[in-house]
Amino acid sequence: MIKMIKRHEDDALILKSTEDLLREKECSLLKEDIREQLKKEQQNFSRIEIDLKNASKIDSCGLSLLIMLEKLAQEQGLSLNIKNVESEYIKNIFRMTNLDKVLKINYSN
C-alpha cells in the first residue's frame, strides 16, 4: 500500500513516500487525497516536495501521479520538486521516460 506522510515545512507541502509508488488503486486514491489537500491549503505554501528516499520502484501509476502533481502545481503557480531519489531503478525509469527533463529531480548520490 502507498502511504504518503504530509507535513508542512517553511512554505512547502512535503509528501514523503514510505514505500514504492506502485498499485493503481492506491495511486488513484492518493491522487484524489492530494488534490483535496491542495484545494484546502493552496494559500499556505508555494511549493510541493516529493521525498522518494524510501521508494525503490515506480510503475506507470506512480509516474502518472508525479505528472498529475506537476500539472496541478503549475496550474496553482507552485513549483514541484522531487528529492532524495536514491533507487537506481527509479533513476533509470525517469531517464528512459525523459521525465528527468520535465520534472525537477534531485538525485541522491
Domains of the chain (ranges; CATH) run 4-107 (3.30.750.24)
The sheet with strand 79-85 has its strands ordered as 4-9, 12-17, 47-51, 79-85, 104-107
Give the end-to-end CA distance of the chain in Å, rounded to a whole number.
27
Residue 81 has pLDDT above 90, yes or no: yes
At residue 2, the pLDDT reads 46
At residue 19, the pLDDT reads 75
Residue 63 has pLDDT above 70, yes or no: yes
**Separation CA 74–CA 78 (nearest Å):** 6
Prediction pTM value: 0.81
At residue 46, the pLDDT reads 83
- Looking at every residue in the chain, the average pLDDT score rounds to 82
At residue 80, the pLDDT reads 92
At residue 102, the pLDDT reads 92
Query: Between the ranges 12-21, 62-71, 95-104, where is the mean pLDDT highest?
Result: 95-104
pLDDT digits (tens, 9 = 90+) for 2-53: 455 566 667 777 778 877 776 666 777 777 777 777 777 666 778 888 888 8
What are the grid coordinates assigned to 35, written together?
488534490
